[in-house]
Structure formats: structure tokens, C-alpha cells
Amino acid sequence: MLPSVYAPKDFKRLHAAGSIVARCFDFITPHINAGISTGDIDRMVAAFLRENGARSSSLGYKGYPKHCCTSINDVIVHGIPRDDEKLKKGDIVNIDLTAEYKGFHADSSRMFMIGNVDSRAQELVQTAQDAMNSAIAVCAPGVPLSEIGRTIESVVRPHGFSVSRDFVGHGIGKVMHDDPQIYHFYDKKWEKVKMVPGLVFTIEPMINMGVAGCKIDTDGWTARTADGCLSAQWEHTIGITEDGAIIFTE
Ligand code: MF3
Ligand code: CO
Ligand code: CO
């Protein structure tokens, strides 16, 4: 039995947590422009969550020091907000927010393009979002978890981009990270595990312009592409219903 299977009343709570995450994005979005520091973004996130009775699930998680992750350009995931790091024109940045509200966690990330961005970088950002949405669209009871990775690869492959294999989506609910792991690439081992109503998990494909591999900075968190090329990611928390899936974080 999968741990991240929840009752309808819990879906209401996940929706409440997810809606705070979505509204936090709406709150910060007008400010995500050239010149703002990632430290400023973190403070805005912290203030919004506090004012809405929520807290960051990331702060203190395995010693993580900030309220959100800010991953610029070649950073795949887990960039740490800093006061001495400012967004500049041409950057692509992922902001990843996970909030806990009344005991339930919701996790989402979005990409932001700062000023005019190179057309191939725009294609990368769009492809990552299309991959996530296509994967969400195949989710329904009885569908093997392996269909998620298969779908993402089928969207990404024609563009010549690669799918990061070092980080996965995850079950979520009363804890931020739970089983099952959600692979963003096809693996036969997930053929056997079928989605059931009530299953709650994230889909968060990380798509790289160059090679799939990564290296970790000396801070122990920041994961960069091995070749320095750009990376993009989008993430939603979803729940399996009787006939498909609902998105909690939009
Ligand atoms: N939000 C991330 C995810 O998608 C987890 C961040 S944990 C942190 O799973 F500690 F790095 F913030
Ligand atoms: Co996340
Ligand atoms: Co996640």
C-alpha cells in the first residue's frame, strides 16, 4: 500500500495548502524582475506564508537555511536565496515553494524569464512546462507510474533536450517527501505500481539543454548541470480522483 493515499476530506486540506502556494506565486510575481536579489524573494515568500498562517516546509529541512529555492540558469534545483545574488536580464529562474498549512504540505515551482531571453532558452522553459502538463494529463486510476516518465520523455525528445535523472517527484501530504518516488524518465520498475484514487504526489520534471548529469556546489545543496548549460523545471502537487487528477497548486 502506498503511503501517500488520502481521503476526500484531506483533499480539501491539500487544496487549502496548494492555494496558499499558488497565491504566494501571484503575490511575488510582479516583483520578479532584473535587480531583485534572491534573498529579497525569500523574504517576500516568508512574509506571505506567515501572514496566511502557513510555514515553509523547506526551512530547516535537513538543515536547509531558507524558505524557498531559487535556481538560476544552470542550476537544476535547490539554489539557496542570497542577498548578494541579483536577477539580471536574460536569466531564467525557477522558484520552488513548499508550504505546510494545518498539517498538509503542497509543493510547486514555476519558471520566470527576466527581460528578453534567448529563443532556445524560451523553448526550454516552455518544453518543461509542456512536459509537466502532458504528464498530469495522463494521470488517472489504473495508470502505471511509469507513464509519467514515458510521457515526459516523449515531449522532451523532439526538442533535443535531456531529462535530469538525479532528482525525482514524490508522494506528499502529511509530510513533504514520501513514497512513491516519481521518475521523470521511463523505468520498467514503475510499470507494476498503478495510480489509485486518493494518491497525492508531485510531478516536477527538470529539463536540461545539454547533458542530463549534475554536480553539487560546496554548499551541499545547489545542483548545477554538469556542462554548465541551462536547466528548467515546473512542479505541481496533484491528487488522483475517480476519473483523472486534480491540481492542488494552481
Ligand atoms: N521543493 C523541493 C521539492 O520539489 C524540496 C525542497 S527541500 C529543500 O521536492 F530543503 F531543498 F528546500
Ligand atoms: Co518543490
Ligand atoms: Co517537490
CA distances to 3, 104, 105, 117 from 175, rounded to whole Å, are 10, 7, 6, 36
The pLDDT value recorded for residue 201 is: 98
**Closest ligand 1 atom to Cα of 202:** 4
**Closest ligand 1 atom to Cα of 177:** 9
Q: Tell me the CA–centroid distance for residue 214 and ligand 2, in Å.
A: 18
**pTM of the full predicted structure?**
0.98
**Closest ligand 1 atom to Cα of 235:** 4
Best mutation site among 107, 183, 202 for ligand 1, i.e. most ligand atoms within 8 A of its Cβ? 107
Phi, psi of 205 (to 5 degrees): -65, 135
**Closest ligand 1 atom to Cα of 68:** 12
Give nearest CA residue, ligand 1 atom 7: 58
Neighbours of 202 (CB within 10 A): 26
pLDDT per position in the chain (250 positions), as tens?
689 999 999 999 999 999 999 999 999 999 999 999 999 999 999 999 999 999 999 999 999 999 999 999 999 999 999 999 999 999 999 999 999 999 999 999 999 999 999 999 999 999 999 999 999 999 999 999 999 999 999 999 999 999 999 999 999 999 999 999 999 999 999 999 999 999 999 999 999 999 999 999 999 999 999 999 999 999 999 999 999 999 999 9
The pLDDT value recorded for residue 30 is: 98
Which grid cell is 124?
526550454
DSSP H helices in the chain: 8-28, 38-51, 119-138, 146-156
d(CA 137, CA 243): 11
d(CA 234, CA 109): 5
Residue list, ligand 1 pocket, CB within 6 Å: 58, 61, 64, 69, 78, 96, 98, 107, 204, 235
Run of H or E residues at 156: helix 146-156
Q: Tell me the CA–centroid distance for residue 143 and ligand 1, in Å.
A: 26
Q: What is the DSSP letter of 33?
A: S
d(CA 35, CA 38): 10
Neighbours of 156 (CB within 10 A): 23
- The partner residues of 201 in beta bridges, in order of sequence, read 171, 238
Q: Tell me the CA–centroid distance for residue 62 and ligand 1, in Å.
A: 10
Q: Tell me the CA–centroid distance for residue 166 and ligand 1, in Å.
A: 13
Give nearest CA residue, ligand 1 atom 11: 78
d(CA 224, CA 209): 12
Q: What is the DSSP letter of 91?
A: -
Give nearest CA residue, ligand 1 atom 5: 58
